[in-house]
Amino acid sequence: MPCEYCLKHVRLKPQAKDLTNPEGLVEVNLDPLINFQIDVFRLVLAVVFYVCNVADYYTTKKGLEAGLREKNPFARAIMRMGWRKYQAIKLLGPALFAYQAMTSEDPYYTWTASLVIGAGMFAYAAVQNALLIAGRRMRGEASGP
């Protein structure tokens, strides 16, 4: 019977039976495959995280153009410093965060969970902004010229 490590990380592959291998099985190390799958999963999460951030940025910009106000006090304070500084912080900060998550050797996948939570928050903000913009436009059309 294989050990616990083998059951988790090694697959037994059938091979021709001979005197040195009477069971006809050879161990195949799956660690590289598992690591590759985890890396691809992290990459996909990082891309989704950043795309949701860009969607939040874009809908925030369109909302401000439509006459809405920024409700996030942190973002509002950065916007007061100038739009270019807001752009830099809004677009570079999450990019650095995603990079850290991709390159982290965290055995507990804390960075991966952070990407999921962050992507959810950015997606929620983007949807909320889009709904507020649509509501503003509908009220504008309803009042007429």
Residue 10 DSSP SS3: strand
> Is position 15 within any domain?
no
Q: What are the tens digits of pLDDT across the range 13-53? A: 555 555 565 565 556 566 777 888 888 998 999 999 999 99
Length of the chain: 145
| pLDDT recorded at residue 6 | 47
- Strand blocks (E) in the chain: 10-14, 25-29
CA distance 104 to 106: 5
Q: Which domain holds residue 75?
A: 36-143
> Is position 18 within any domain?
no
> Is position 13 within any domain?
no
Q: How many domains is the chain partitioned into structurally?
A: 1
The type of residue at 83 is: W
> Is position 14 within any domain?
no
> Is position 6 within any domain?
no
Q: What are the tens digits of pLDDT across the range 94-124? A: 999 999 988 888 777 888 899 999 999 999 9
pTM greater than 0.85 (yes/no): no
